[in-house]
Amino acid sequence: MRPQLKLMPDTTTRDEPSAARPPTLASLLGHRPLSSPARSAAHDASSDDDVIDVRGAVRMLRVGRNKVYEMVARNEIPHRRFGRRIRFSRLAIMRWLDSWSLQGAREGQ
C-alpha cells in the first residue's frame, strides 16, 4: 500500500514580503520591469543581439517567407538550425548585409 501524500495549503499571500517568495530570474539579474517607452529604447539598444526566427528575418529583410527559406537552403544567409527550427542572429544578418554593400561598392569602382 502506498503512503498518501498530504497536500499543504498554500499559505502565501500577495501581501507577504518578497523574501518569502522564490526570487525571479529578473530579480537575480537585477532587472526591473520597464515602462513601454523605456522598454522600446532598451529594445533598440539591444536589437543587434536578438535571435530571430524566419518571421523576424522576413520582416527585417522585407522579402517573402519562401525567399528566406530559399536562401537558407542555399546557405546564402547566416543561420542556425535547431532540429526543424531555423534561427538567425540579427547582428549576423546585419554584417551579412554590410558585406553585400561593401562588395557592391568594390564592383562599382
Model pTM score: 0.52
Is the model's pLDDT at 95 over the cut of 60?
yes
Is the model's pLDDT at 85 over the cut of 80?
yes
> Distances from the Cα of 8 to the Cαs of 5, 11, 12, 19, 21, in angstroms?
9, 8, 11, 20, 16
Average pLDDT score, the chain: 74
pLDDT of amino acid 15: 52
Task: Kindly provide the residue ranges of all beta strands, DSSP E only, lying in the chain, ordered along the sequence.
Answer: 51-52, 80-82, 85-89
Q: What is the mean pLDDT of residues 25-49?
A: 52
Tens of pLDDT, residue by residue over 42-65, are 455 455 579 999 999 999 999 999
